[in-house]
Chain A
Amino acid sequence: MTITTGKKGEKIDRLAELAAVRDDERGVSLWQEAFRRLRRNPAAIVGAAVLAVFILVAIIGPFFVPYGPTDSIGIREGVVKSGQGLIPGPSGDHWLGYDHQGRDVFSRMIVGARQTLLVGVVSTLIGLAVGALIGGVAGAAAGLGGRWGRWIDTVLMRFVDMLLAMPSLLLAVSIAALLGASLTTVMIAVGVVSVPVFARLLRGSMIAQANSDYVLAATSLGVRRSRIALTHVVPNSLAPVIVQATLTLATAIIEAAALSFLGLGNPDSAVPEWGVMLADAQPYLGIRPALAIYPAVAIIITALGFTLLGEAMREALDPKLRK
């Protein structure tokens, strides 16, 4: 486009081209660019590292534990007499010592990681699935407009408001009362509690997208509504939902622990779960506070990992922060 004046002209164009930093041949999509930004963010690296360790331990850890998590070797060997306040601490054989039933705490922590991850992931998935379904239908109905659309949207959102208005603990307790205390109950309870968040987020995000100029542009092109919803509205609404899912994993783990702590989890403490371990440690806080500290610290670090990663993802995906 520029008028060249001989050799120097070409040189200018070359220099300008260099200055404009050309990316590689193919274009960089938003997701790719978000990932690049994520990799440059130290918080994301730390969060991802913590989670990688946690997930690795949760998946393969239980195959390598030194002792069975339900094996009361301490009592069998006569070293643990919790009735008399005798619960030995860490030693060479038992890195984190015994618990009140004489079981190896280190082994239980590792097996518990798997349970905790399972509870977190499953309950988040429950919340995400139900919430996204309600939010997606409501958002699509609101987007389609018309009397029926608005009616469906209103009914669904009032239902969600009801869920939101109920204290989450009360909700969980009632679900537990209905289904009986078990790990499944905990997962459902925690999942249901996060339904309103996902539903409102997806609906709001879809409505915002439905009002955007590019949806109007697609309409003016003559693209069908259903296709617009699937190719423009939904994909562009997902980013905040994914971020929220990561953040919800953190709260889900904490909430599940809280419910287990309150005794709404698996009554049979044979299957170790960090929340259950925390609850079990309560009577012995005076003798061996470490029994409560181990699971507590593990929960905090894991939740922190999810939060760090979630926040970093939020930043990376925020279109406003793009250059």
Chain B
Amino acid sequence: MALLEVDDLSVTFARRGQRTVHAVDGVSFSVDAGEVVGLVGESGCGKSVTSLAIMGLLPKQPGLRVGGKAVFDGTDLLQLDDRSRRDIRGRDIAMIFQDPLSSLNPVIPIGLQVTEVLTRHRGMKGEAAAKEAAELLDRVGIPDPRRRLKEYPHQLSGGMRQRALIAMAVACRPRLLIADEPTTALDVTIQAQILELLKELVRDSGTALVMITHDLGVVAGMCDTINVLYAGRVVETARRRPLFAAPRHPYTVGLLGSIPRLDSGRGERLTPIPGSVRDLLPWPDGCAFAPRCTRRVDDCVGAPPELVLAHDDRSYRCVNPAPVPGREPDSAFAPQTGAVAAGASDAAAPAEAASREEESA
């Protein structure tokens, strides 16, 4: 049983006089204990809203509706009242944000902010809490932790602030850590330090990690399973290697083709995705990616594409997926019995079309 099972999560913002915004439109994914799961997508794909909805941190405002389920260890987080949710937050699930400066209170010393967490969730006080806080800072690689405890956030550099934030997040040894673009605001050498730190923490403590990022390079190095989001839905889910070796959804293919790689030469043209994220089809009318898709066929329009479960634990939401290199292009609608019979049992299991309940508009 998965540690966190998000099922058909939807978040809509309705504002008077404006169109209802489906920020998250039926996102499903699961996280096993100790697993590193990536949520990847561009701005506006709903990856951050998903994490905020799970944590119950969406600003309470009229017109906000959260639907679906987010079951953590047997309890649906979305059904909890504020109090019990606050108890879970910080103790069992912790979150790291993109901007460490705005996530830390500027007028309270770092030490006090860390001990506060320890007092709230672990009941530690006084010298014991201070000692534990110093150990935490030391563990996340902050030099001279005893002195740092007395300092204020603005006295630390960006990388050190992010470390302090991570120290607070892991203070109660949470079972799940959600990191929302934890390294986007940082320089690349500092990013490497922080990613290494996160990897270490996951390896040593068995904490599961949900890594939310737009950077496919970051997920390639650390995630076990990757969910690619587009326009508020997961369009492809796969283990790390199969995803990069043979992306099936045209959007994933397009993303990988858009990134200049360090190991590719000068002048190799990139293959960008045409149009912008604004050019999208509402899901009920078909595939949201269809207007920008290079593999578009007639069936892309009319109804949202169903989730196709393929071998290797992977799934994608596309009626005309990119072919797997070195194999016959398969069709999602009519699995050819011949191909199945001929292929090795593990390599070409019949693609099975499974329809998750589709939410109506």
**Touching chains A and B, CB distance < 8 Å:** yes
Contact B294 A15 (CB under 8 A): no
* A40 surroundings in chain B (CB, below 8 A): 17
- Count, chain A residues at interface, CB 8 A: 18
A11 in complex: contacting residue of B274, B279, B301, CB < 8 Å = B301
B301 in complex: contacting residue of A3, A15, A19, CB < 8 Å = A15
- B206 lies within 8 A of chain A by Cβ: no
The listed residue with most B CB atoms (<10 A of its CB), out of A2, A4, A9, A16, is: A16
Within 8 A of A (CB), among B63-81: none
When chains A and B are docked, how far (Å) is the Cα of A12 from the Cα of B286?
A: 9
Residue of B nearest to A36 (CB): B17
- A1 lies within 8 A of chain B by Cβ: yes
Residue of A nearest to B300 (CB): A12
- A8 lies within 8 A of chain B by Cβ: yes
Residue of A nearest to B275 (CB): A1
Contact A8 B301 (CB under 8 A): yes
Contact B300 A8 (CB under 8 A): yes
A12 in complex: contacting residue of B17, B19, B281, B294, CB < 8 Å = B281
* A318 surroundings in chain B (CB, below 8 A): none
Encode contact with A along B1-32: 1 for CB under 8 Å, 0 otherwise. 00000000000000001010000000000000
Contact B274 A15 (CB under 8 A): no
- A32 lies within 8 A of chain B by Cβ: no
A5 and B281 contact, Cβ closer than 8 Å, known pairs A12-B290, A13-B291, A16-B291: no
Contact A15 B286 (CB under 8 A): yes
- A321 lies within 8 A of chain B by Cβ: no
Encode contact with A along B278-311: 1 for CB under 8 Å, 0 otherwise. 1111100110001111101110110000000000
Chain A interface SS verdict (over half): helix
Residue of B nearest to A20 (CB): B278
Contact B281 A19 (CB under 8 A): yes
- A6 lies within 8 A of chain B by Cβ: yes
Contact A3 B291 (CB under 8 A): no
A12 and B275 contact, Cβ closer than 8 Å, known pairs A2-B296, A19-B282, A40-B17: no
Chain B contact residues (Cβ within 8 angstroms of A): what range? 20 to 34
Encode contact with B along A8-27: 1 for CB under 8 Å, 0 otherwise. 11011101100111000000
| B66 CB to nearest chain A CB (Å) | 22
Contact A2 B275 (CB under 8 A): yes
* A3 surroundings in chain B (CB, below 8 A): 294, 296
When chains A and B are docked, how far (Å) is the Cα of A19 from the Cα of B279?
A: 8
| B9 CB to nearest chain A CB (Å) | 22
When chains A and B are docked, how far (Å) is the Cα of A11 from the Cα of B298?
A: 10
The listed residue with most A CB atoms (<10 A of its CB), out of B275, B281, B294, is: B281
Contact A8 B298 (CB under 8 A): yes
* B274 surroundings in chain A (CB, below 8 A): 1-2
Residue of A nearest to B292 (CB): A2
Contact A12 B297 (CB under 8 A): no
When chains A and B are docked, how far (Å) is the Cα of A8 from the Cα of B296?
A: 10
| B311 CB to nearest chain A CB (Å) | 28
| B287 CB to nearest chain A CB (Å) | 9
A20 and B301 contact, Cβ closer than 8 Å, known pairs A1-B274, A2-B296: no
* B280 surroundings in chain A (CB, below 8 A): 16, 19-20
| B12 CB to nearest chain A CB (Å) | 16
Residue of A nearest to B291 (CB): A16
A16 and B298 contact, Cβ closer than 8 Å, known pairs A1-B274, A2-B275: no
When chains A and B are docked, how far (Å) is the Cα of A2 from the Cα of B289?
A: 11
Within 8 A of B (CB), among A97-134: none
When chains A and B are docked, how far (Å) is the Cα of A11 from the Cα of B292?
A: 13
When chains A and B are docked, how far (Å) is the Cα of A148 from the Cα of B262?
A: 50
| B361 CB to nearest chain A CB (Å) | 12
Residue of B nearest to A7 (CB): B298
| A105 CB to nearest chain B CB (Å) | 42
Residue of A nearest to B285 (CB): A15
B279 in complex: contacting residue of A4, A6, A9, A20, CB < 8 Å = A20
| B61 CB to nearest chain A CB (Å) | 14
* B286 surroundings in chain A (CB, below 8 A): 12, 15
Residue of A nearest to B293 (CB): A2
Contact A9 B281 (CB under 8 A): no
* B298 surroundings in chain A (CB, below 8 A): 5-9
Contact A2 B291 (CB under 8 A): yes
Instruction: List 18 other contacts, CB 8 Å, given A2-B292, A7-B298, A15-B281.
Output: A2-B291, A2-B293, A3-B294, A3-B296, A5-B296, A5-B297, A8-B300, A11-B301, A12-B286, A12-B301, A13-B291, A15-B285, A15-B301, A16-B290, A19-B280, A19-B281, A19-B285, A20-B278
* Contacts from A to B (Cβ < 8 Å): 1-9, 11-13, 15-16, 19-21, 40
* Contacts from B to A (Cβ < 8 Å): 17, 19, 274-275, 278-282, 285-286, 290-294, 296-298, 300-301
Return 18 A-B CB contacts under 8 Å, by A number: A2-B291, A2-B292, A2-B294, A2-B296, A3-B294, A3-B296, A4-B296, A8-B297, A8-B300, A8-B301, A9-B296, A9-B298, A12-B281, A15-B281, A15-B291, A15-B301, A16-B290, A20-B279
Q: Which 7 A-B pairs have the closest CB atoms?
A: A16-B291, A8-B298, A1-B274, A12-B290, A16-B279, A12-B301, A16-B281
